[in-house]
Amino acid sequence: MQVHIRNAKGNRDRLVPLPVNTLNLLRRFWAVHRHPNWLFPSRHNGLKCVHKATNHMDEGGVQLALRRVVADIGLKKVLAHTACATAMPRI
């Protein structure tokens, strides 16, 4: 399975491998809200209204979630780039 990333670094389109485990996690996540257009819908009006969201999650929402996880497990400051570089295997 591959994901098509449009306008990536250098304004180029890229095909990125998507591991089966990640695909399964994304499917389970989508099954929670079942938004017809967005995999990561905005949650500004709360979780009960997420299926009616009119736009996607803000980039800052991902950063905020990462900061909360890092604080909860007691790590020092972690940047999103560092987390991605650590979690993603070299291909």
pLDDT at position 71 = 85
CA distances from 26 to 10, 72, 78 (A): 27, 23, 23
Nearest to 82 by CA among 61, 67, 60: 67
Query: What are the helix (H) ranges across the chain?
Result: 20-33, 59-73, 80-87
pLDDT at position 90 = 55
pLDDT at position 14 = 93
pLDDT at position 86 = 56
Reported as a single tens digit per residue, the pLDDT across 2-23 is 989 888 888 899 999 999 998 9
Per DSSP, what are the bridge partners of residue 73? none
Q: What is the pTM (predicted TM-score) of this model?
A: 0.57
pLDDT at position 9 = 84
In three-state secondary structure terms, 58 is coil
Reported as a single tens digit per residue, the pLDDT across 24-50 is 998 998 888 888 888 888 877 777 778
Structure tokens at 16: 């990125």
Q: What are the residue ranges spanned by the domains of the chain?
A: 2-87
